[in-house]
């Protein structure tokens, strides 16, 4: 659990919440968090669709709610002939603090390879934002005992050869593919085992200081009912929440889980 690293609870809205819905959501969340507060040592971020980023930024400022601005992806190039894409620099100029790289939906649906994901992490770090690097195994890989090797490989592919300080400030989200949107959550034991393996891999790549500092989230059907036990698992420093982050009440409850 978080300890000195602190806890980061992030909402990945995927392709939900237009700009008007975003403003309404932030008002609701702010009202809930004004009553209950964000526990000390916890940080909250929201990753809306690109078109909702300005509305999120404006609502967070207007409501004075402690929510960091996140994005769901970016292109790896600085600029160029990439129709439909958004660069890391454009996000940085909007005040984005965290950018997801390598979500399994983009790896599967948009053909993002480990090499592409690594280039995206490069771009995010170049613009002084923090990557939220997503890794995770399929059900078949887990059944065949290949889960840890797969996830270590993904971590190394994205982070090997980077400065310890860069790795220390990154976030890694362990999201087993079989748990995403499935209503099936990893047990605290399984999540803790994998998050500890990820921390060990970070130590191998970037040294003990980076391993101690890097924050590792769990993602995959997190709900208010499962969050507290997962947060008690070894090396779990927060959550990347999909479905439950679309409901202000549920998201606020996850932000406060176990506190």
Question: Beta-carbon neighbour count of residue 158 at 10 Å?
Answer: 26
Which positions from 224 to 253 touch ligand 13P by CB under 6 A, shown as an x/- string?
----------------xxxxx---------
Does 117 help bind ligand 13P (rule: CB under 6 A)?
no
Q: Which residue lies nearest ligand 13P, judged by its C-beta?
A: 242
Asked whether position 181 contacts ligand 13P by CB under 6 A, the answer is: yes
> In this complex, which beta carbon is closest to ligand 13P, that of residue 92 or of residue 222?
222
What are 36's two structure tokens? 């209950």
Tell me: does residue 73 bind ligand 13P (CB under 6 A): no
Does 220 bind ligand 13P (CB under 6 A)? Our answer is: yes
Give yes or no for residue 180 binding ligand 13P (CB under 6 A). Answer: yes
| Long-range CB contacts for residues 24-28, cutoff 8 Å, separation at least 24 | 25/246, 25/248, 26/56, 26/59, 26/60, 26/63, 26/65, 26/67, 27/59, 27/63, 28/248, 28/249
Is 101 one of the binding residues for ligand 13P (CB under 6 A)?
A: no
Q: What is the DSSP string of 151-217?
A: HHHHHHHHHTT--HHHHHT-EEEE--GGGTTSS----HHHHHHHHHHHHHHHHHHH-HHHHHH-EEE
Catalytic residues: 103, 175
State which residue, 54 or 224, has the beta carbon closest to ligand 13P.
224
For ligand 13P, the closer CB: 25 or 63: 25
Polymer length of the chain: 259
Q: Does the protein bind ligand 13P through residue 12 (CB under 6 A)?
A: yes
By CB under 6 A, tell whether 176 contacts ligand 13P.
Answer: no
């Amino acid at each position: 659990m978080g300890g000195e690293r602190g806890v980061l609870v992030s909402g990945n809205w995927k392709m939900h919440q237009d700009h008007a819905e975003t403003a309404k959501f932030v008002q609701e969340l702010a009202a809930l968090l004004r009553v209950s507060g964000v526990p000390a040592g916890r940080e909250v971020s929201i990753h809306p669709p690109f078109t909702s980023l300005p509305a999120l930024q404006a609502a967070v400022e207007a409501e004075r709610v402690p929510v960091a601005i996140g994005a769901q992806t970016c292109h790896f190039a600085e600029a160029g002939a990439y129709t439909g894409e958004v660069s890391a620099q454009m996000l940085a100029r909007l005040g984005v603090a965290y950018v997801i790289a390598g979500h399994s939906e983009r790896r599967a649906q948009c053909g993002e390879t480990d090499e592409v994901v690594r280039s995206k992490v490069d771009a995010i770090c170049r613009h002084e934002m923090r990557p939220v690097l997503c890794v995770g195994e399929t059900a078949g890989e887990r059944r065949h005992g290949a889960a840890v090797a797969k996830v270590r490989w993904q971590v190394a592919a994205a982070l090997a050869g980077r400065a310890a300080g860069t790795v220390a400030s990154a976030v890694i989200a362990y999201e087993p593919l079989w748990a995403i949107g499935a209503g099936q959550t990893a047990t605290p034991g399984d999540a803790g085992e994998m998050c500890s393996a990820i921390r060990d891999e970070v130590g191998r790549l970037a040294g003990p200081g980076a391993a101690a500092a890097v924050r590792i989230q769990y993602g995959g059907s997190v709900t208010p009912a499962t969050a507290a036990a997962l947060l008690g698992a070894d090396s779990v420093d927060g959550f990347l929440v999909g479905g439950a982050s679309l409901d202000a009440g549920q998201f606020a409850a996850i932000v406060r889980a176990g506190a």
